[in-house]
Structure 1
Amino acid sequence: MPYVITEPCIGVKDASCVEVCPVDCIYTDDEAPMYYIHPDECIDCGACEPECPVSAIYPEDSVPEQWQHYIQINADYFKDK
């Protein structure tokens, strides 16, 4: 998973990242508290990272320690989809 959305997105759901994604790999739904990046669709372009107003998006290998569990949370969102 090249990029991961973390805790600062919860409750914000600003769509700036979605608007700049060239492959439309950022998803949410009415019940989800945040956006999620599809691990198989992301092309690792990084366009979303600087657009996030709450600095919630990180390359997988740079996710801060306190938010490492969001790597799995993002992956799990797509398991049944």
Structure 2
Amino acid sequence: MAYVIVSPCIGEKAGECVTACPVDCIQEGPEQFYIDPDTCIECGACVTVCPVEAIFYEDDVPDNEKEYIEKNRAFFK
């Protein structure tokens, strides 16, 4: 399990999550940031600094945002 960035990040890309991450697992994509599920240590540092509340623990991703779980994984393949 890992944290996942969902749709409120699209177009926002504020970047506080990147600087808060102690293991540098968050990378910028063309429309939003993504969290590498293999590198994420599940510390939650990114969650508390996200200004648009777009970061969820994988098990807690809202049903209407579930597609972002796979989008985050696919970004790192």
TM-score category, normalised to shorter length: over 0.9
Q: Which runs of 5+ in 1 are unaligned?
A: none
Cross-structure match for 1:3? 3
Give per-residue Cα distances to partners, 1:10-32, cap 9 Å, x unaligned.
Answer: 00001100111000000014xx1
- Is residue 34 of structure 1 aligned with residue 66 of structure 2? no
Measured in 2, the distance between the counterparts of 1:16 and 1:24 equals: 12
Cross-structure match for 1:12? 12
The percent identity for this pair of structures is: 53
What is the RMSD computed on CA atoms of the aligned residues?
A: 0.8
Q: Which runs of 5+ in 2 are unaligned?
A: none
The alignment partner of 2:19 has SS state of helix
The alignment partner of 1:48 has SS state of helix
Cross-structure match for 1:53? 51
Q: How many residues are aligned here?
A: 77
Measured in 1, the distance between the counterparts of 2:28 and 2:74 equals: 13
Measured in 2, the distance between the counterparts of 1:33 and 1:2 equals: 20
The alignment partner of 1:53 has SS state of coil
Higher helix share: 2
